[in-house]
Amino acid sequence: MVASLPNKIGSFYPPKRILMGPGPSNIHPRTLTALSQPVIGYFDAAFVRMMDELKSLLRYAFQTQNALTFPVSGPGSVGMESGFVNLVAPGDKVIVCRNGVFGGRMIENVERCRGIPVVVEDAWGEPCDPNKLEDALKQNPDVRLVAFVHAETSTGCETDAKAITDVAHRYGAIVLVDAVTSLGGIPVMTDECGIDAIYSASQKCLSCVPGLSPVSFSDRVVEHIQNRKDKVQSWFMDINLILNYWGNTVRTYHHTAPINSLFALHESLLLLQEEGIENAWARHRQHYQALAAGFEALGLRFLVKEANRLPQMSAILVPEGIDEALVRQELVAEYGLEIGAGLGPLAGKVWRFGLMGYTAQESHVMTCLRALDTILSRMGHPVRSGEAESAAHRAYAAWHTARAEKTA
């Protein structure tokens, strides 16, 4: 008997949203157009040329000369796992600096690789402490790898990548960095910081479709992987095999690439190059400053101290007496605006506001503040109507004045 569907199912047309959560971000129309181009074969000469351009564009985004810089076929979680499965053999001791959810996921990866995790803990909302790392390295001189999150998505906190990397290198450890939320939004200086291996994701500050994870591995890392005495536990993520597909020599089949998603990533990275990466960093900072001014006018407080805040991801403490889930629901229902909830111990305690990639624009900032003004006022939070938008406008005016004076 042939199974039947209970009702007629038609085409799916997603609602339009302003995506101001922890990801994905809104996508530039040019990237959406690139995604819709005709599919071609993954060994087509035109596609191979595009792959080479992708690698160059990613080197620019990562600020690196690493030859092995390419997008892994899978989300940021696959980029993370590819780093661990290639660098961690059974019995290896690995230090993980944890100050949020994604440091915790790193620990899980070490355990699944049958490595031995040594955890350096910092409070959620605080950066990873290089002094604590140094103490751990002194106590564990046999550590092979140090891993940390550059931009912790669960809290909106930035860790000093160079400070952590410098400490790890003094003790001979390889460094693996999570740049999922940072790439394209704040400086990710892979070579300048001496980072050995780094991974990110396509759907955040790069404003591409979800499902790709840009990675970059130094020659030191490639040599380390090639000299392993055991097989990398994942066939799909084994760099020894992927080198034959994304390397610079004759390519051999490894897997069917997500062809149209790679078209989209190529266009997103081209947009980043055209804007200029320093201008992209400045744009994220500009819109964050306006949004932050609005938050302060609404009487909202940040989880993270100002010196360590990410411009592209803000964790805001929920005011006492406010139903945090209801605020999120009404933002979507009334304004088509999505923000994120807290994770782990911060569930129910914070909202997460993203200003990533194409989402980082003035109209979205002002819509967000206007919506919060209305909804929070209705729920009894003390709000002076219109003050949040006025504060944001003043922040934008100050930014434009400072820019004009700088270029004069």
Partnered with residue 146 across adjacent β-strands are: 95, 175
Distances (CA, A) of 230 to 13, 68, 111, 217, 282: 48, 21, 17, 19, 45
Task: Please report the DSSP string for 113-156 in residue order.
Answer: TT-EEEEEE--TTS---HHHHHHHHHH-TT--EEEEESEETTTT
Question: What confidence tens digit (pLDDT) does each residue in 383-395 have?
Answer: 999 999 999 999 9
Question: What confidence tens digit (pLDDT) does each residue in 320-369 have?
Answer: 999 999 999 999 999 999 999 999 999 999 999 999 999 999 999 999 99
Q: Cα separation of 52 and 34, whole Å?
A: 17
- Give the CATH class of 29-273: alpha beta
Q: What is the pTM of this model?
A: 0.96
- pLDDT given for residue 125 in this prediction: 97
Is residue 263 classed as helix, strand or coil in its secondary structure? helix
- pLDDT given for residue 251 in this prediction: 75
| Element (DSSP H or E) covering residue 104 | helix 101-112
Where in the chain do CATH 3.40.640.10 domains reside? 29-273
What is the average pLDDT across 140-165?
A: 98
Sheet strand arrangement including 145-149: 68-73, 212-217, 197-199, 174-178, 145-149, 93-98, 116-121
- pLDDT given for residue 250 in this prediction: 66
Q: If one looks up domain 277-407 in CATH, what number appears?
A: 3.90.1150.10
Where in the chain do CATH 3.90.1150.10 domains reside? 277-407
Contact 158, 186 (CB under 8 A): yes
Q: What is the mean pLDDT of the chain?
A: 96
- pLDDT of 248 > 70? The answer is no
Backbone torsions φ then ψ of 89, nearest 5 degrees:
-100, 160
What is the average pLDDT across 10-18?
A: 95
What is the average pLDDT across 201-224?
A: 97
Between CA 22 and CA 189, with CA 35 as vertex, the angle to 5 degrees is 50
Task: Grade residue 174 by pLDDT with cuts at 50, 70 and 90.
Answer: very high
